[in-house]
Chains A and B, each alone.
Chain A
Amino acid sequence: MPTNITLQVLRYLPEDGGEPAFQDYEVPLRADWVVLDALNHIKDHIDGTLSYRWSCRMGVCGSCGMMINGTPVLTCAAFLESFAPGPIRVEPLAHFPVVRDLVVEATDFVNKIKDVKPWIVRETEKPLSEGEFRQTPEELADFKQYTMCINCMLCYSACPVYGLEPGFTGPAALALAQRYNLDNRDQGNQERMDLLSNDEGIWSCTMVGECSEACPKGVDPAGAIQRYKLAGAADWWKSLITRKGK
């Protein structure tokens, strides 16, 4: 078992001008280390100029997503040993503008999350006197999977459609829309349908399925979108009939 492993990290320093370039770092190959530990080791002991995001280091905050050997993963969940003997290629999350080194600009993603109205939408407000919303375990199970999203953006890096068309709403945002659509307390289905049943919403998706493969929390955005397409098609045909009825 070799004692070290090489990380090839893509550096980008905008103040120096120029293009992104790989820089090699040799780090100890410890059995309990993940790529994030290696990056922290680099920053603490080898090169303090390296910039990257991280927080919880346990797979719940969604901050540390990066491309490892071309695949989007959470670096806090990628053990160095699984890439031995290396070298390990570390790049910033694909399909997002790079601000510096491994830090990407997430504003587009954040805007799209906001665009899908990720809150309980009510047509008729339920007064407090009527008591609480009731939800059976089955009703919860209908949408619970889609609540697990940690906004890590790995699915956006995995989605080739998002890579080709930055206007695409994207897997996480659409799964989040479904989280509310399928919640029995929500009455916003039509509002979100009008927003998302268009060329930049669900209809850009070609069911590649890589988003669900990349998701570290098992949200299955691909499944959410396919269900949404079925509902969207039904809604379109229904509106055709009701429009003709007018």
Chain B
Amino acid sequence: MNKSNDPFWWTLFGAGGALSAMLVPILLFLIGVATPLGWVDAPSYAAVSGLVLHPIVRIAAFSLISLSFFHWAHRFRFTLYDGLQLKHLFRLIAVICYGGALAGSIAAAYVIW
């Protein structure tokens, strides 16, 4: 039986799913809803920079971004198999999904550091 590499992608999917489930709702709420609607005072550029550009926060943010991309990649790949019956395009889909996640992670690293 050929050993599948899926366990590797599944681990990333699981980590990304757990991390995003914990962190993303509150972050999107604060950044995308509460602050624009004025429920929370918009922090100054200096305040945000101080918080977000802190070295540990950068590492945490990169982890969240990268794992989120790999969570999407693995899940979306199987959604295409189940939802649109595209399993015969498995090589193309794998490249687009995991390649896309890798590209996104590289972009994140470039922007964060």
Contact surface of A with B, Cβ cutoff 8 Å: 160-161, 164-165, 194-195, 197-199, 203, 206, 208, 229, 232-233, 235-237
Check A237–B11 contact: CB distance below 8 A: yes
Contacts of B85 in A (CB 8 A): 164
**Chain B residues whose C-beta falls within 8 Å of the C-beta of A195 in the assembled complex:** 1
A233 with B7: CB separation less than 8 A: yes
The reply to whether B7 and A232 contact each other, CB–CB distance below 8 Å, is: yes
Q: How far is the CA of A197 from the CA of B8 in the complex (A)?
A: 12
Main secondary structure of the interface of B (DSSP, over half): helix
Residues of B within 8 A of A203 (CB): 4, 6-7, 10
Contact of A199 with B11 in the complex, beta carbons under 8 Å: no
Collect the chain B residues with CB atoms within 8 Å of residue A199's CB: 4, 6
* B7 A194 Cβ-Cβ under 8 A: no
Bound form: Cα–Cα A7–B14 in Å = 45
Residues of B27-85 contacting chain A, CB below 8 A: 78, 81-82, 85
Closest to A199 in B: B4
B8 and A198 within 8 A (CB): no
A229 touches B10 (CB 8 A): yes
Please, how many angstroms separate the alpha-carbon atoms of A229 and B4 in the complex? 12
Number of B residues with CB within 8 Å of any CB on chain A: 15
A236-B1 contact, Cβ under 8 Å, with A164-B82, A164-B87: no
Per the bound structure, the CA–CA distance linking A164 and B80 in Å amounts to 12
- In the complex, which residues of chain A have a beta carbon less than 8 angstroms from the beta carbon of B8? 236
Most buried by A among B1, B2, B14, B85: B1
* Contact between chains at A206 and B82 (CB < 8 Å): yes
Query: Once A and B bind, how many residue pairs between them come within 8 Å at the CB atom?
Result: 40
5 new A-B pairs (CB below 8 Å) besides A233-B10, A233-B11? Answer: A161-B82, A197-B3, A197-B4, A199-B6, A236-B11
| Alpha-carbon separation in the docked complex, A206 to B14 (Å) | 12
Q: Which residues of B contact A235 (CB under 8 A)?
A: 7
Which A residues lie within 8 Å of B7 (CB)? 197, 203, 229, 232-233, 235-237
Could you tell me the distance in whole angstroms from the C-beta of A234 to the nearest C-beta in chain B?
Answer: 9
Q: Which residues of B contact A206 (CB under 8 A)?
A: 78, 81-82
Instruction: Check B78 against A198 for contact (C-beta < 8 Å).
Output: no
Most A-side CB within 10 Å, residue of B6, B8, B11 = B6
In the complex, what residues of B have CB within 8 A of residue A233's CB? 7, 10-11, 14
The 10 closest A-B pairs by CB, nearest first: A236-B7, A203-B6, A233-B7, A198-B4, A206-B78, A199-B4, A233-B11, A198-B1, A203-B4, A232-B7
Residues from chain B with a CB closer than 8 A to the CB of A197 are 3-4, 7
Chain A residues with CB below 8 A from B10, complex form: 203, 229, 233
Distance between A39 CB and nearest chain B CB, rounded to angstroms: 33
Instruction: For the complex, give the distance between the alpha carbons of A208 and B14 in Å.
Output: 16
Q: Which residue of chain A is the closest to B11 with respect to CB atoms?
A: A233
Chain A nearest Cβ from B13, distance in angstroms: 10
